Structures are given as structure tokens and as C-alpha cells.
Amino acid sequence: MLTYILKRLAVAIPTLLLLIVVSFVLMHSAPGGPFTAERELPPEVLANLNAKYGLDAPLWRQVLNYVWGIVAHFDFGPSFVYKDRSVNEIIAQGFPITLTYGCLSFLVAVTVGVSLGIAAAIRQNSWLDYAAVGVSIGAQVLPNFVMAPILVLVFTLWLGWLPGGGWQGPEYWILPVVALSTSFMASIARITRSSMLEVLTQNHVRTARAKGLPERRVILGHALKPALLPVISYLGPAFVGMITGSVVVDIYFSTGGIGKAFVDSALNRDYAVMMGVTILMGALTILFNLVVDILYGWIDPKIRY
């Protein structure tokens, strides 16, 4: 197991370094520096600015400094637009919010999705099954940026039950979480349903039934674990999708999460903040994929380390 984890780590760390270096080089190959935006600066001022932000050193040295800053001090450097704020401060402000509703959405998507999928598979061709299949087809064409305005329209403007934006208490969490989790919940339900249906026809399930186990134990004790394998391998892409979707949630619900900082920096051409957020999200994704791989190896006895 340890060698397996180490092997995965051996892939994860170069991936992360590659992401950092590539985005850094991209940033530097962009036409125009960060200070050439509105008006022409006198060359002395520009030289001073470049010196202050360390942009006068050769590229390889800048990359090394940047990587070293992140690895050693977890420091993403200063923002190029807000002179008095560092990228760390901007991230620290929004990240807890994103993390809160992100984790909630993930929990909702997995628990509701898996239970719905199991229920649909057990009662195949019942109304519940049709409802689950219908929802999962419908949710394919209702991504978060479509769900968000529809939810606000129904629950805020028509019914007036829930606030349509802001971040002040648990009632503000509901709409963002629903908007973010629905399409993933539907995908997880679909995947669980089809893999459960397949597992239920297998020999070991028939054996379990033949020895007279109650249906509940057959499902939960024997069928669930193998049926979850495709779900687990979907969790990685789902995580990426949710991270991306959080940007929409932050914009539409004004939750003040990290996505807002990202879009603002994109509109301001604040490369430092954009890179910081990209690298942070990339690191989270890679870390999460690592966890998924380990989980997979633990649950599937066929995988040898």
C-alpha cells in the first residue's frame, strides 16, 4: 500500500510543478507586461516596478523564485493590481467560503446520488426508477449556470423562501449548494444505478441470496461495494467540475468565495491572483485524485500495488 501511495505521489508532484511552471511561462509570454496597461510609464519607473516585483531577473530565476516561494513559504507573491494586498490575503479571504459550500455540495451530491441510484436499481422499472432516470437526463442539460438563475427565480422571486445571494448564515447556503450539486448528483445517480444493476446479476449476489440473506444485507453487504467502483472513479472529474462550477456560484450568488476573486482578476488582468488561484485549484485537484486513487486501491481487491 505504501509503495502504491508513493508511486501516485511520484506522479502528483511533477504534475503540480509542471502546472506551476507552465502557467508561469504562459504569463510571461503574454503580450505586454502587467504594468503596460493604461498609459505609457517612464522607463525608470517601469524598471523600478519590475525590480520591486522581481521581474528583471532572468526567466528561469523568476520561475525558481516563484516555485520556491510556494513550496517553502506557501507564498504566492504580491497582487499586481491591488498594491497593498498579497495573493495569499485574497485567497485566504474567499477560500473558507468556497470550501464550505464546496464540501457541502460534494456530500449532498454523493449521498443523495448514491441513494437515489441504489433505490432506482432495486426498484427497476418502477416510478422511482423512471423519476431517477428522468432527473438524471434532465440534469445533463441543466448545468450550474442554468440551475442558479432558475433556482433564484423560483425560490427567491416567486416563493420568497430563500435569499438569492449573500453569505450570512445557513439559509444562504441552500441555493448555492443545490445549484452546484444537482448535475453531479444526477450523474452519480445514473452511474450508481447502472453499475448496481450489473452487480445484482453477478454470481456472488446470487450466492448471497441463495443462502437466504435478507435483501437489505445482500444489497448493503455484498452488492454496494463493487457497485461503488465506477462512482469512485467518477469522483475525480466531479471534483474538477465542482471547483469550476464554484466560480459561477460565487458570481451569481455573490457568496464572496474564491471564484469571484478569480473572475475579477481575469477582468483586471491581475496575473498573479489568476495564477495563484489556478495553482491552488490544480493542487487541490491533484490531491483529491490522489485520495480517490488510494480509495480505489483500498476498495478494489483486484488492484495490486
Partner 1 sequence: MVGQAEKIEAVAERLGARAGGGRSLWADARRRFLRNRAAMAGLAILVFVALFALCGGFFAQWSNEELDYMVMGQVAELGGPSLETGHYFGTDDLGRDLFARTVQGTQISLAVGVIGALIACVFGTVYGATAGYVGGRTDGIMMRLVDIFMAVPYMFVLILLLVMYGRSITILFIGVGMISWMEMARIVRGQTLSLKGREFIEAAQATGVPGPVIIARHVVPNLLGVIAVYATLLVPLMILTESFISFLGLGVQEPLTSLGALISEGAGTIAYGTMWQLGFPLLFFVLTLFGFFFVGDGLRDALDPKDR
Instruction: Give the interface with partner 1 as residue ranges (CB under 8 A).
Output: 11-12, 14-15, 18-19, 23, 26-27, 30-31, 137, 140-143, 145-146, 148-149, 152-153, 157, 236, 240, 243-244, 247-248, 251-252, 262-263, 266-267, 269, 271, 274-275, 277-278, 281-282, 285-286, 289
CB 180 within 8 A of CB 242: yes
Q: Least distance (Å) from partner 1 to the CB of residue 215?
A: 29
Residue 122 vs 143, nearer CB to partner 1: 143
Q: Least distance (Å) from partner 1 to the CB of residue 18?
A: 7
Residue 27 vs 213, nearer CB to partner 1: 27
Residue 18 vs 64, nearer CB to partner 1: 18
Separation between Cα atoms, residue 242 and residue 246, nearest integer Å: 6
Separation between Cα atoms, residue 246 and residue 257, nearest integer Å: 8
Closest CA to 124 of 193, 177, 70: 193
Q: Least distance (Å) from partner 1 to the CB of residue 15?
A: 5
CB 205 within 8 A of CB 199: yes
Neighbouring CB atoms inside 10 A of 287's CB total 13
Residue 114 vs 148, nearer CB to partner 1: 148
Q: Least distance (Å) from partner 1 to the CB of residue 142?
A: 8
Separation between Cα atoms, residue 185 and residue 164, nearest integer Å: 22
Q: Least distance (Å) from partner 1 to the CB of residue 14?
A: 7
Q: Where are the alpha helices (DSSP H) in the chain?
A: 2-29, 43-52, 59-73, 87-122, 127-140, 144-151, 174-200, 203-210, 215-217, 224-253, 258-268, 271-299
Residue 31 vs 212, nearer CB to partner 1: 31
